[in-house]
Chain A
Amino acid sequence: MTRLAVENLTVRLPRGADRELAIEDVSLSLDAGEILCVVGESGSGKSVTASAVMGLLAPGLSVVSGAMRLSGEDLLAKAPEEWRRLRGRRVAMVFQEPMTALNPLMTVGRQIGEMWQVHLNLDAASVERRALAALREVNLPDPEGVLRAYPHELSGGQRQRVMIAMALALEPEVLICDEPTTALDVTTQAQVLALIRDLQRRHGTAVLFITHDFGVVAEIADRVAVMQHGRVVEQGTAREVLTAPRHDYTRALLAAVPGVAAPAPRDLSSDRVLEVRGLTKTYASRGLFRRRKPVRALDAVSVALRRGATLGVVGESGSGKSTLARCVVGLLGADGGEIMIGGAPLPKRRREAARLVQMVFQDPYASLNPRRSAGAQVAQGPIAAGTPRAEAMAEARRLFGLVGLDPEAVTRYPHEFSGGQRQRIGIARALAMKPEVLVADEPVSALDVSVQAQVLALLRELQSRLGLSILFITHDLRVAAQLCDEVVVMRDGVVEEAGPIGRVFAAPERPYTRSLIEAIPGRALLGV
C-alpha cells in the first residue's frame, strides 16, 4: 500500500537564485514498511523534496505543479491548521543536527512528552510512562536519567536517538530522515542506522531517507532515487541502482565513493621531516564556580612523518586529532613534549614557523576572508615574509594554475568560487609559503563526494610533483585509504595503533581499529 506519493512535483525558487526551479517533475512513491533513500549532492533538491512533504518549504519557495498524497489524501489542499495536526502525528522528521533540533532549556522528558500532550491530551503520569518506553525502545542506556537530562548532557548519538524516539512517539505513517547520521561519528552512525532499520521493521513505518552518502544507502535502503539538479535521474531497488546503475551520473557518483582498499605501498624515505614526541595538551577547567575535570586532548602522543609521504591521523570526534594538527602548525601551544621539523624544534615565532608548516582547513567557506580577493590571500604570506608584491602576485597566478584554477581568477572574491574551488585556493595559499610539512585538517569532509575525489587527486598529484610531506587529519577511513602511506589511529588523546595503512586496514591489531573499519557504511554491498 502506498503511504506517500509525490507526483510530478515542481517547486520554484525565489527570483535571483542560481536556477529557476528547486525541484522539477519529481515523482516518488513510498510503501508501508519500506525505506526509500533519496541521494544527491548539495544543490540536488533532495532536502527541498523532504521539506515539501513536511509542508515546511522555506519562505520564497512555492509549489508550481504536481501533487502529494499521504495514504491517498491530497496534501497540497491542506490548510496550515490541518498541516499542524498532521505533522508529528502522521508525518515525522529527524533532522541532521540533533543539538539544534532540541530545545536546550527543556529536559528530554518534557520534550518527548509534549508530543502526547499536544496531540493526545494525555495526563502527566501516562506521558512519563510512554516517554520511558520510547527511550527504552531506542536503546538509550539509563532511560530514567535521560528523561531528566538536558540536551547538552547527552552525546551526539544519544541526542539523535532522542530525536528518533520523539519522531516515532505517535507512530507516524511516514518518517522523514534528513541526513540523520551525517553529524555523527562512524561507529555511532552504524548504530543509529541499525536502530532506524530495526524500528522501521517493527512498526512498519515508511521511511524517506535523505543522504549524500552511498555507503549509508547501501546499509539501509530498500529502494533508491538519485537526484541531480532538482530532477530524479534514476530510481530503482537498492541492489539495481548500486550494482547496475543505468544513468551516467549515478555511475559517476558510485565511482567517486572511495574504497577502503589501500593502494600499493610505496617506498618511503627514512628521513623523518616531522617528529612529534610525547606531546601533551590539557584543556584546563575554567570558571570560578564550576570546576570541570580538565580534558586531556593529547596524552603523550608521538608520531613521525617521513619526507615525501602522507601520514593519516584518523579518529572519531574528541580523539584529539585536530588538537594535534593545531599544535603542529603552532596555533595551539602544547603543555609538554616536542615538535621537531627537519630535525629542529618548531620555532615559536610565527613568521619563521610559517616557512616550515602550512595548513589546509576543513571548511572552505570559513577559511577565506570574504572581503579580500583570492589572489591577495595567497600572496599575503610571501609578501609578509619579504617577497616583492609583484613577484608574489605572479607566484600566486602560477599557483592558481598549479591547483587547477584559472590564473586570471586571482582578482576574484571568495564568494565567486564553489566549495571545491575554494579548497583549491586554500591549498594554493598553503603552498605559497613553500612549507616542509603540509597539515591538512579534514580538507575534504565538507565537500560533495565527486568534488572530494577531485581534491584528493589534486593532493596526490601535487605530492608527486613537489615531493610534499602531508599530515592528513580525517575522520573518514575511506578518505585516508585514498591518500595515506602510513596511518595513526587516535582515541581519547592517545595513539591506539600506528603503521603502514595497508597493514592497519587489512590486519588491525587493536579492537578499536577493527570496530572503526567494521562501521564503515556500505562495506557489504559496495564490496569495499
Chain B
Amino acid sequence: MRALRAYLRSPAAVIGSLLVLAVVAMALTAPLFYPGDPLGLAGRPLQWPGQNPRFPLGTDPSGRDIAAQIFHGARISLLIGFVATSIAVCIGIAIGALAGFYGGAADTALMRVTEAFQTLPNFLLLLVLVAVFGSTMGTVTVAIGLVSWPPVARLTRAEFLTLRTRDFVQACRVQGLSDAHLILREILPNALPPVIVYASVVMAVAILLESALAFLQLSDPNVPSWGNLIGLGRNVLRAEWYVSAIPGVAILLTILGVSLVGQGLNDALNPRLASGR
C-alpha cells in the first residue's frame, strides 16, 4: 500500500500509467471501432490523414485503413510485450536463482551459458531463430523471449548472492527448511522488486525488436503489427511519410509509457530512494 502511494506521487509514473492504459484501451476497443479485418482493402491507397473523413489517419500503399491497423496493432504489441517478457523473466529468474543460490560449479556453468547468449548481439540471434523456425506470431514472440533473458538472469543472481547470506535465510536453514522453500518463499520475494523494474525495460525492448523484425519484413505478415506498417511505408517514405510516422509515434509513446512505469516502480519499490524525498 505504501509502495502504491509512493508510486502515485511520482508524476512520471502517472503519465506512464496513463500512456500504457491508453494503449490497453485501444487494444480492447479495436473490435468495437474497427470490426472488420484491419488488413482488408478499405479504399483508395495513399490517402493523406484528414483527406477522407472515413479514414482519419489515411490509408497505406495497399489501400488499408491505417487507424484500424493502429488499433489492432496495439493488441499485437501488447501481446508480444507481455508474453515475450514473461518468457524472458521466467527463464532469467530460474537460471539466476539457481546460479546465485547454489554458487560454485552450478553458478559457473549457468553463468557461462548466460555469457554465451550475451556475447551474441540479440538482434542477430533473433534473426537466426526466425530464419530457422519461421516467422509466425508465436515463433517470433518465443524467439524474442529467448534472446532477452540473460540480463534478467544476471540481475537475479546478484540479488540472490547477497540475500542468501542474510541472517533470515540462515535462520530458515537452521529451522530445517528445504532449499525450495528458501528460494521461493524467503529469497525470491525479496529479490523481485529490481527484477520487476527491469521487466519494464525488457518489455520495451521486446516491442522494439518485433518492430525491427517487421521493418525488415521478417515478422508475421498476416498480423496488423505496427512494425509491419512501418515496413510498408518504407517504399513511400519520401512522399507519404505519414504511413511510417503514425505507427512510429505509436511505438514511441508505448515505450515511453512502459519506461516511465518502470521508473515509477523503481522509485516506489526502492526504499532508499523513497525515503530520500
Contacts and interface: CB of A to CB of B under 8 A. Distances in A.
Contact of B171 (A357, A367, A385): A367
Nearest to B192: A371
Contacts of B190: 369-371
Given A362-B167, A367-B167, A368-B168, A433 B176 contact: yes
Nearest to B172: A380
Nearest to A381: B175
A368 B189 CA distance: 13
B119 interface: no
A329 B175 CA distance: 10
Interface in B155-172: 166-168, 170-172
Contact of B185 (A331, A351, A363, A372): A372
A366 B166 CA distance: 7
Given A369-B168, A369-B186, A380 B175 contact: yes
B174 A384 contact: no
A361 B175 CA distance: 13
B54 interface: no
A160 to B, nearest CB: 26
Contacts of A363: 167
Interface in A340-387: 350-355, 357-359, 361-363, 366-372, 377, 380-381, 384-385
Interface string B52-78: 000000000000000000000000000
B173 interface: yes
Contact of A429 (B166, B175, B181, B185): B175
Interface in B167-222: 167-168, 170-178, 181, 185-186, 189-190
Main secondary structure, interface of A, reads loop
A26 B196 CA distance: 46
B161 to A, nearest CB: 15
Given A59-B276, A371-B189, A359 B174 contact: yes
Contact of A331 (B166, B170, B186, B276): B170
A354 B176 contact: yes
A381 B172 CA distance: 7
A426 interface: yes
Given A369-B186, A370-B190, A330 B168 contact: no
Contacts of A380: 172, 175, 177, 181, 185
B interface residue count range (under 10 / 10 to 19 / 20 to 34 / 35 or more): 10 to 19
B47 to A, nearest CB: 56
Contacts of B171: 359, 361, 367-368, 377, 426, 429
A280 B238 CA distance: 79
B170 A361 contact: yes
A372 B182 CA distance: 13
Contacts of B185: 372, 380
A427 to B, nearest CB: 11
A93 B119 CA distance: 49
Nearest to B168: A369
Contacts of B170: 331, 359, 361, 367
Contact of B167 (A351, A358, A361, A372): A361
Nearest to A364: B167
Given A367-B168, A369-B186, A372-B185, A358 B174 contact: yes
Interface in A164-182: none
Contacts of A329: 174
Nearest to A414: B168
24 contacts: A59-B276, A331-B170, A331-B173, A351-B176, A352-B176, A353-B176, A354-B174, A354-B176, A358-B175, A359-B174, A362-B167, A366-B167, A367-B171, A368-B168, A369-B172, A369-B186, A369-B189, A369-B190, A372-B186, A372-B189, A380-B181, A380-B185, A384-B181, A433-B175
Given A350-B176, A367-B171, A384-B175, 16 more contacts: A59-B276, A331-B173, A350-B173, A351-B176, A353-B176, A358-B175, A362-B167, A367-B167, A367-B168, A368-B168, A372-B186, A380-B181, A381-B177, A384-B176, A384-B181, A433-B176
